[in-house]
Structure 1
Amino acid sequence: MPTVVIREDESFESALRRFKKQCEKAGVLSELRKREHYEKPSVRRKKKAMAARKKLLKRLKLFQQE
């Protein structure tokens, strides 16, 4: 979990900015969105397979254009 200690000469806004950057780097928000609702393992596998297929088709399309 990201933590920020406010320095003596630091404003709250800059500390908040640092905290947001740390959260983004640690992937806190994406993890929160992923765990917001329970997703069955079968649905998770389907989504993963669809994402892989989409990525593959995108690559094939890119190579065909060249």
Structure 2
Amino acid sequence: MAQIILNENEGIEAAIHRFKRKVSKAGIFPDMKKHRHFETPGEKRKRKLVAKHRQRKKYSRH
């Protein structure tokens, strides 16, 4: 869980900016999007297969 403590004389905008950066570095948004909907085992296999093909295609270009 991402958490920040407000410093003295720190504006709310700066605190929000710090919080967003911390959440981004923790990788919470991609994980949240991944768990937003239930994924059947077949959908999971298909997603992993597509990712595997993308990865292969990415590294085969030389």
TM-score by structure 2 length? 0.87
Q: Hey, what does 2:51 align to over in structure 1?
A: 51
Taking the aligned partners of 1:40 and 1:46, their CA distance within structure 2 comes to 10
- Unaligned 5+ segments in structure 1 are none
Query: What amino acid maps onto 1:12 in structure 2?
Result: I
How many residue pairs align between the two structures? Answer: 62
SS in 2 for 1:6: coil
Q: TM-score, normalised by structure 1?
A: 0.83
Q: Which residue of 2 aligns with 1:38?
A: 38
The percent identity for this pair of structures is 32
Q: In structure 2, what is the Cα distance between the partners aligned to 1:57 and 1:21?
A: 31
Give structure 2 stretches of 5+ with no counterpart. none
CA distance in 1, matches of 2:25, 2:58: 27
- Give how far 1:58 is off: 2.8
RMSD: 1.1
Structure possessing the higher radius of gyration over alpha carbons: 1
Partner amino acid for 1:49? Answer: L
- Partner SS for 1:39: coil
Q: CA deviation at 1:26?
A: 1.0
Q: Structure 1 segments of 4 or more deviating over 6 A? A: none
